[in-house]
Structures are given as structure tokens and as C-alpha cells.
Amino acid sequence: MKRLVCLMLMGSLMAQDLPISKSQLPKPKNNFHIILPDDIGSGRINVHFHVNESGEVINPIVKDTFDVSINETVIDAVKQLRFVPAYQNGHPVKVMYSLPIVVEGS
């Protein structure tokens, strides 16, 4: 049976509120799931990237992984994400985003 990567996209970012009403964090427009081969174990992957002023993912980098053989698959999936951009003082801004992904065996 194939393994499913559970995306913990909201995490701590959605749990925070900025005190300034004209500011907001980026909000994901879509979620994703990745189907991986059966021989992949369980673990956690941390991906860092920027969300630009248009809500697109820029320069995703796998910072921590349990299996380097799936890094390209994860990066390709992260590139497909789209966000409502972050705002500061009422204007869209480029921000750094950290995405923890948990791979669980079935």
C-alpha cells in the first residue's frame, strides 16, 4: 500500500494573529497529498521557501528529511502550492515560510 504524506500546512502560522489589522500572514489556497513508494519509511520533512507577492512558491529547499530519495518529489509538490500573499501595511509582501510535512505509514 502506498504511503500518504500528510500536509500540516496551517500549523503554527494559522494559530497566530498579527496585532496590526493591515497585516496578515500568507494563507494557502490549496492542499496537496503525495503518493510515495511502499519502501519509504515514516518520518518528518521540513521544507523552507518564500511566498512572493503573487502567492507563488519560490526557491523551495528541503532543510531536514528522513529519506533524501523523496526530496525531489516533495519539492515538485510544494512548487504546486498557491497562497493568498502576506500583507504588511495593506501591501502584499514576500515572506519566508516553513512547512513541516509528516509521512505516516498505513
0.85 exceeded by pTM: no
Strand-strand pairing, 83-84 and 57-64: unpaired
Residue 88, CB-side half-sphere exposure with 13 Å CA sphere: 5
DSSP string covering 40-95: ---EEEEEEEEE-TTSBEEEEEEEE-S-GGGHHHHHHHHHT-BEEPEEETTEEE-E
Whole-angstrom distance, CA of residue 89 vs CA of residue 24:
9
Query: Tens digits of per-residue pLDDT, 4-63?
Result: 444 343 343 443 444 445 678 899 898 877 878 878 888 999 999 999 999 999 999 999
